[in-house]
Amino acid sequence: MTVDSTPDELYHHAAKVYGAALGRLARAYEADTDLRRDLLQEIHIALWRSFSTFDGRCSLRTWIYRVAHNVAASHVLRQRRTRSQALVGLEELENMPGGNNTLQVADRSHTFDRLLSMIQCLKPLDRHVILSYLEGHDAAAISEITGLSPGNVAVKIHRIKNLLAGQFRQGETR
């Protein structure tokens, strides 16, 4: 895919290659099934529209994740008025009593539910970083998508690893 590709071609490619990742992203931003479907649809429409202005100044992957996360952050802000749940940052989560203990490992499905609920209580920017980390992006890519400095991303990833590692190690030894 190049800058010269048509918006339709770019969208087709994005949906094919990143469709599953976008589905996971929507799941991380919206717990309600119907609203999640709407959000995912909104992301796809936003992507298709955005490709008419894609100029290749950043990679296609960066563009796709920026659009998807920005639509999702917008969704979180819209829902903020109707939902009372307070969102927290990684630092607060790490410092909460039992914060490192968020993921009680009983079985795989239970572990996943705990991981998901932890992600869903994070502020949008921290949610973005943890999702990118879970998708396997490196610090440089996360920095380019989020706009956070590489140093800041490294600190956040360190916190994420602290939050996750112990519990998963525990899970594997059972």
Partner 1 sequence: MTNELRNPAQRLWQDQPVEGITMSVEIIRKRAAKFERKILRRNVREYIAALIAAAPLGYFLVTAQDVFARATFGLLIAGLVWMVVQLHRKGSVRSMPAGLGTLTSLQFYRAELERQREAVDTVWSWYLAPLIPGLLVYTVWSAIRSPRPAAWVGLALMDAVIAGVFYVIWKMNVRAARCLQRMIDELKAAENLC
Residues that bind partner 1 (CB under 8 A): 8, 11-12, 15, 19-20, 22-24, 27, 36-37, 40-42, 44-46, 48-50, 53-54, 57, 63, 66-67, 69-71, 73-74, 77-78, 81, 89, 108, 111-112, 115, 123-125, 128, 133-136, 144-149, 151-152, 155, 164-165, 168-169, 171-172
Based on CB atoms, which residue is closest to partner 1, 1 or 46?
46
Instruction: Output the smallest distance, CB 50 to partner 1, in A.
Output: 4
Instruction: Output the smallest distance, CB 69 to partner 1, in A.
Output: 5
Residue 123 CB contacts under 8 Å (≥ 6 apart), including other chains? 87, 88, 89
Task: Read off φ and ψ for residue 88, nearest 5 degrees.
Answer: -120, 165
CB 104 within 8 A of CB 169: no
Instruction: Output the smallest distance, CB 71 to partner 1, in A.
Output: 6
Instruction: Output the smallest distance, CB 39 to partner 1, in A.
Output: 11
Closest to 116 measured CA to CA, from 170, 164, 171, 172: 164
Based on CB atoms, which residue is closest to partner 1, 56 or 96?
56
Q: Which amino acid is at 57?
A: R
Rounded to whole angstroms, what are the CA distances from 53 to 1, 12, 16, 50, 63? 15, 16, 20, 6, 11
Based on CB atoms, which residue is closest to partner 1, 55 or 97?
55
